[in-house]
Structure 1
Amino acid sequence: MDFADLDAPTIGAVLSYLEAERGNSTRRRNARLAAIHSLFRFAALQHPEHADSISRVLAIPPKRFDHGIVEFLSKEEVEAILAVPDRDTWLGRRDHTLLSLAVQTGAATAPP
């Protein structure tokens, strides 16, 4: 197999096959594309004579996908998390402080 066999349309067809026939998710398709891009970036340095086809493969964009909605913790959940660290030990006080900081800065609280 040569770089001439691995052109952009072939790579695109393989990615489409993985998604349509094998049931891979868009995230998995993008992960595989990232690995292919990594290989072809390396190949661009080793085989400059195939720069044209390599650049076409590197130009294949990742597919967009919907991100899940960010869930926030309720007040009861925050209180339960803050109650877990043992504040009689140094590590427990540290953990409680870090968790309190996350809650106070809005990283773990419910929206108003």
Structure 2
Amino acid sequence: MAQEFTGITQACEAFIRSIQEGRYYDAHEDLEYIWYVRRFEDNDEVRLWKGFINAAVSFELLKRGRPKPSETAWKTYLKYSPFLETLVTPHKEHYVRITQILERQRGELCPSF
């Protein structure tokens, strides 16, 4: 079950656990708590969170048998994922791990892509 987090590290760790356990809706919620209050900031880290959230939404939509909307959400993840390359943050290690997990999960859920 998704919980409310105040720290970025805590939210990222919860997001990773939720994705790995196939609880994609919860994963979305895990990051939504930190993203929502900062969603209007002109900040690449916040944009990256939005991408991660959309990846979780994509997986949840696949789980519910909705491949077309899932593809739209995945494209949003892909739009924001390049921000990781130039991002300077103490949380980068978490973000790299999240990206690796999301890419692996996508390959498992959509082996033809």
TM bin, normalised by shorter chain, reads 0.3 to 0.5
More helix by share: 2
